[in-house]
Amino acid sequence: MAQNRKITPLIVAVTCLILGAWLAYSAFYTGLEKPYPPSATGWYEASRRPISRLWGQGIAFDGVYWYFSGRQYLCKTYLNYSIIIENRNPIPEELKKQGYDHIGDIDYFEGIIYAPVEDYRYKNGTFVLYFAENLTYTGKYIKTSQSHMPWCAIDPETQLLYSSEFDNVRSLYVYDLKKDFRRLKDLPLSQTLHRVQGGTIHNGLFYLSCDDFGELLYIVDIKTGKVLDSSATNIGWEMEGLTIYRFENASLGILHFIDHVKNIYHYSFKEAAG
Ligand SMILES: [Ca+2]
């Protein structure tokens, strides 16, 4: 009995401690992050399939062909992912000597592949341009003052090129292709995004993929920077680059992204009723 009298207060004390810690933890996180806007879009996985281990960073589509990027790799494939051409040494020697070693999520615009390339010191993220036809280096690169450069995406309407840092992303960087990549005013976001891995632009909206809690997709208004929608994919692996193209074939869907363990996912969404 005497032993029980000792144990009971101990159990109560431990329970209170656990409860208190849990309450403090949830209060901290609730205070830290505003809730994401609930998904109104209803994304679902139409299909997925394994792809090469070399393709794990980025993806773009030109209407006919896929383009994939790895850390130091580019390839162009048919719709069925069979390789047409690959470049196994895409980073120009001049940049490699300066420590550039990591290509992120690429984009395609008017015959050119735009690749965001980071150096290992994370000093001056650099856009490197390749001919989409054969994936050779065009001879043009543009250094920026970005630290990280995980992705880039072009708005075909305005010919503005967008990119961002990797974590604690409160705004996007804007560069003007028509003015030789001059940096314009940043576009502030309505909420901070974490671990941004990929980005693409479609009909005035950004689609951003984040390796955050739940591997979320975010939809952001390109004019206002307002985060309009988010959807957790919960794929269980690190989220990487993405692209948008609306296929007639339902199994290919609309939104296409890759993960770090080399799968490609094709997502579609349920149209809102009424
Ligand atoms: Ca992309």
Q: Is 160 helix (H, G, I), strand (E, B) or coil?
A: strand
Least confident of 8-17, 75-84, 108-117, 161-170: 8-17
Residue 34 has pLDDT above 50, yes or no: no
Residue 13 has pLDDT above 90, yes or no: no
* pLDDT at res. 186: 98
Using the mean position of ligand 1's atoms as its centre, give its distance from the Cα of residue 142 in Å: 18
Using the mean position of ligand 1's atoms as its centre, give its distance from the Cα of residue 153 in Å: 7
Q: How far is CA 89 from the centre of its chain?
A: 23
- One-letter amino acid at 245 equals Y
Using the mean position of ligand 1's atoms as its centre, give its distance from the Cα of residue 105 in Å: 5
Q: What pTM did the predictor assign?
A: 0.85
Using the mean position of ligand 1's atoms as its centre, give its distance from the Cα of residue 96 in Å: 22
Tokens of 193: 């995004």
Using the mean position of ligand 1's atoms as its centre, give its distance from the Cα of residue 136 in Å: 18
Using the mean position of ligand 1's atoms as its centre, give its distance from the Cα of residue 244 in Å: 8
Tokens of 133: 């036809």
Using the mean position of ligand 1's atoms as its centre, give its distance from the Cα of residue 27 in Å: 36
Tokens of 206: 């950004």
Model confidence at 23, pLDDT cuts 50, 70, 90, reads low
Using the mean position of ligand 1's atoms as its centre, give its distance from the Cα of residue 29 in Å: 31
- The residue extents of the domains of the chain are 1-32, 37-269
Q: Tokens 């003052």 sit at which residue?
A: 145
Least confident of 23-37, 130-144, 200-214, 224-238: 23-37
Angle at 117 between CA 143 and CA 197, to 5 degrees: 125
Per CATH, domain 37-269 is 2.120.10.30: yes
Model confidence at 273, pLDDT cuts 50, 70, 90, reads very low
Residue 198 has pLDDT above 70, yes or no: yes
